């Protein structure tokens, strides 16, 4: 794992899904690029183009920059496709955004959303990522992993996230992940809401138990090419 492209539907998904992994592997010299495909705020407004909606989008993107700074990530891009409405965007447009990022960044590893999240935008991005990273189309992508997003992955009750790949985290990694998420002041709430300090630590401990560690982040290995 040397160059990792993180594909996120909305700002905060990247931190929730793989914030700990980014903190851990940035220390080891791994390069990360975060691709935000959609904004995360307009779905809360009846008129997505109103002034309040546009202000909320700008605010959340600004919070994303702060969160990524907490993690140590400096390479990212925003595309601001409509939140909650990716099913209204031609899939070829989404694919081209992902393919272009792959062409420019040339990752060996791609992290994306889980296939069965409760959030429809997440599911669309999983499918788009599978198409954009198909073997032969982008040969330098050797590994594709899905991450889980609290308040989405665990709420797809009949098709819960089933990890098979665990990344050990330290207590410091988990704390840095929380500090990054806390930068999203509009998106976190107090416990027992999943996107809380306690929620982040509880999930890290639970995934650690599954993997034989004190703390961990969990992923689904979608595919890996081994030569």
Confidence category of residue 140, pLDDT binned at 50, 70, 90: confident
Give the per-residue pLDDT at 125: 98
Q: What is the residue range of 196's domain?
A: 3-224
pLDDT of residue 48: 86
Please give the full DSSP string across 139-187, using - where no structure is assigned. TT--EEEEE--TTTSTT-GGG-----EEEEE-HHHHHHHHHHHHT-TTT
* Mean pLDDT (whole number) for 3-10: 98
Q: How far apart are CA 181 and CA 70, in angstroms?
A: 9
Euclidean distance between CA atoms 17 and 21, whole angstroms: 9
Which tokens sit at 203?
């999930």
Strand, helix or coil for residue 219: strand
pLDDT in tens, 9-28: 999 999 999 999 999 999 99
pLDDT tens digits for range 162-205:
999 999 999 999 999 999 999 999 999 999 999 999 999 999 99
Q: How confident is the model at residue 227 (pLDDT cuts 50, 70, 90)?
A: confident
pLDDT-based confidence at 137, cuts 50/70/90? low
Q: Which pLDDT tens digit goes with each residue over 89-127? A: 999 999 999 999 999 999 999 999 999 999 999 999 999
**Tens of pLDDT along 43-82?**
999 898 899 999 999 999 999 999 999 999 999 999 999 9
**pLDDT value, residue 28:** 97
Q: Model pTM?
A: 0.96
pLDDT exceeds cutoff 60 at 138: no
Which pLDDT score, from 0 to 100, does residue 222 have? 97
Q: What is the count of structural domains for the chain? A: 1
Please report the pLDDT score of residue 45 as a whole number: 92
Residue 200's CATH number:
3.40.50.10320
Contacts of 225 (CB under 8 A, 6+ apart): 135, 142, 143
- Residue 44 per-residue DSSP state: G
Note the helical H segments in the chain.
Answer: 13-26, 51-71, 91-105, 120-132, 171-182, 197-211
């Amino acid at each position: 794992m040397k160059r990792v492209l993180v594909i996120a539907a909305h700002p905060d998904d990247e931190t929730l899904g793989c914030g700990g992994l980014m903190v851990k592997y940035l220390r080891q010299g791994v390069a990360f690029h975060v691709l935000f495909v959609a904004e995360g705020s307009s779905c809360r407004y009846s008129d997505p183009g109103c002034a309040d909606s546009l202000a909320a989008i700008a605010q959340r993107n600004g919070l994303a920059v702060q969160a990524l700074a907490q993690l140590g990530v400096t390479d990212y891009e925003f595309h601001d496709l409509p939140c909650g409405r990716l099913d209204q965007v031609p899939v070829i447009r989404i694919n081209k955004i992902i393919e272009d990022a792959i062409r420019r960044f040339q990752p060996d590893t791609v992290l994306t959303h889980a296939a069965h999240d409760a959030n429809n935008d997440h599911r669309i991005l999983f499918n788009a990522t599978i198409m954009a990273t198909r073997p032969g189309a982008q040969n330098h992508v050797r590994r594709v992993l899905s991450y889980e997003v609290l308040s989405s992955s665990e709420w797809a009750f009949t098709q819960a996230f089933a990890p098979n790949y665990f990344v050990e985290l330290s207590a410091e990694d988990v704390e840095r992940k929380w500090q990054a998420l806390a930068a999203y002041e509009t998106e976190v709430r107090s416990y027992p809401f999943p996107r809380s300090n306690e929620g982040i630590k509880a999930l890290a401990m639970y995934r650690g138990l599954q993997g034989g560690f004190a703390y961990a982040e969990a992923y689904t290995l979608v595919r890996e090419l081994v030569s």
